[in-house]
Amino acid sequence: MTTEPVLRPAAEQQYAAELAALAAADDRPRPPRWRMSPQAVVTYVLGGTLADGTVITPKYVGDRRLVEVAVGTLVTDRALLLVGVPGTAKSWLSEHIAAAVSGNSMLVVQGTAGTGEDQVRYGWNYARLIAEGPSEAAVVASPVMTGMREGAVVRVEELTRMPAEVQDSFITILSEKTLPIPELGIQVQAVPGFTVIATANDRDRGVNQMSSALARRFNTVVLPPPATEDDEVEIVSARAAQLGRALQLPAEPPALEEVRRVVRIFRELRNGSTVDGRTQLKKPSGSLSTAEAISVVTSGMALAGHFGSGTITADELASGLLGAVVKDRVSDTAAWQEYLEAVVKERAEWRDLYRACQDLVG
């Protein structure tokens, strides 16, 4: 039997070799059921070179201390909450930490307005329940229950999108570390190694504020947008190249200069002023996150590979930029036009981009 490559392998599959090398080289103490020491987890996340020469690629670009605090939280009895504006790698970091700590990043509860308590606690296999009555075999474990039994990291995505009463079912789980099943008169007790990494977006509309009782069970780490343009260029070009390979796009990874243009436009519009600070700009309504910059560049690669010369030019970036910036047709179109005229047009080396964007706005 041949196995098809999957579209998006989990971190522990994609980086299996790095994780194995880190665990093998690691002689520091490991917390119960951890695959490696907290130090090695930080190296896995931020990258480095091992004594035997194995290169660990950086996954997260950012402050070391912040990653240490995040990983350090997991050895305490508190859970970790990653918050920040959209596209600041909250989910990305949570996946990689779970992969390094537990070797499994797939115990995930996705928070939505429709998330029910059974997705957090447990459900029933109704055919079995009717045939045999309530029994342990009829219980369908949630990822949380599985993580408690196995002593693994459980990821909770978009915690604040869940209804408040469902969020609150984490209070007992996190403070008592038990999950009662009243129908059977038993409870599942968590074994060491169990913890939760939750993410929450502080920009979303329609969020359900966390109760203070629940908030107290978490250590909160705020993930900031990339500090400098260079950092952001590094992130976007590395991720776009990786995605291009994974999607098998027949295009070259974009030149650093093209990525830099996209990142500069995003940063200027996000901050509402040009890099030299001379021109004030209208801020568009969208979030213009790093994640969106990555998708502008990746779409550009798709266009260049299939309909263009194989190399990204201004023509391939223009439509992606327009789509990313203009979320509200009326107000954002005005902001984009103003930016094109006041900034893009004035930069001699950006003439090609100005022309390509003008053609689209038409």
Ligand X SMILES: Nc1ncnc2c1ncn2[C@@H]1O[C@H](COP(=O)(O)OP(=O)(O)OP(=O)(O)O)[C@@H](O)[C@H]1O
Give just the sign of the alpha carbon dihedral 134, 138, 140, 146.
Answer: positive
Residues of this chain, 173-202, that bind ligand X according to CB under 6 A: 199, 201
Residues 6+ apart with CB under 8 A from 217: 78, 79, 170, 171, 174, 175
Least Å from the CB of residue 15 to ligand X = 13
299 binds, among Mg ion, ligand X, none (CB under 5 to 8 A by kind): none
Q: Which stretch binds ligand X (CB under 6 A): 54-62, 106-114, 131-139, 325-333?
A: 54-62
Instruction: Closer to ligand X by CB, 37 or 295: give it.
Output: 295
Structure tokens at 61: 């670009």
- By CB under 5 A, is residue 91 in contact with Mg ion? yes
| Out of 15, 92, 218, 339, the residue judged to bind ligand X by CB under 6 A | 92
- By CB under 6 A, is residue 334 in contact with ligand X? no
- Long-range contact list for 227-234, CB < 8 A, 24+ apart? 227/62, 227/63, 229/260, 229/263, 229/264, 229/267, 229/275, 231/61, 231/62, 232/263, 232/266, 232/267, 232/290, 232/293, 233/259, 233/260, 233/263, 234/61
- By CB under 5 A, is residue 43 in contact with Mg ion? no
CA atoms within 13 A on the CB side of 128: 10
Instruction: Return the amino acid letter for 293.
Output: A
Expressed in percent and rounded to 5, the helix, strand and coil fractions of the chain are 50, 15, 35
- By CB under 6 A, is residue 111 in contact with ligand X? no
Instruction: Closer to ligand X by CB, 19 or 179: give it.
Output: 19
| Out of 46, 89, 214, 343, the residue judged to bind ligand X by CB under 6 A | 89
266 binds, among Mg ion, ligand X, none (CB under 5 to 8 A by kind): none
* Cα 59 from chain centroid (whole Å): 11
Size of site (CB under 5 A) for Mg ion: 2
| Out of 15, 60, 170, 350, the residue judged to bind ligand X by CB under 6 A | 60
- By CB under 6 A, is residue 259 in contact with ligand X? no
- By CB under 6 A, is residue 87 in contact with ligand X? yes
Residues of this chain, 5-34, that bind ligand X according to CB under 6 A: none
Least Å from the CB of residue 81 to Mg ion = 13
Give the residue from 240, 199, 162 showing the smallest Cα distance to 86: 199
Least Å from the CB of residue 233 to Mg ion = 22
Size of site (CB under 6 A) for ligand X: 19
Residues 6+ apart with CB under 8 A from 71: 38, 41, 42, 45, 97, 101
DSSP 3-state of 109? strand
Instruction: Closer to ligand X by CB, 293 or 321: give it.
Output: 293
| Out of 111, 226, 253, 286, the residue judged to bind ligand X by CB under 6 A | 226
Give the residues lining the site for ligand X (CB under 6 A). 60-62, 84, 86-92, 199, 201, 226, 235, 239, 290-291, 294
Question: What is the binding site for Mg ion (CB under 5 A)?
Answer: 90-91
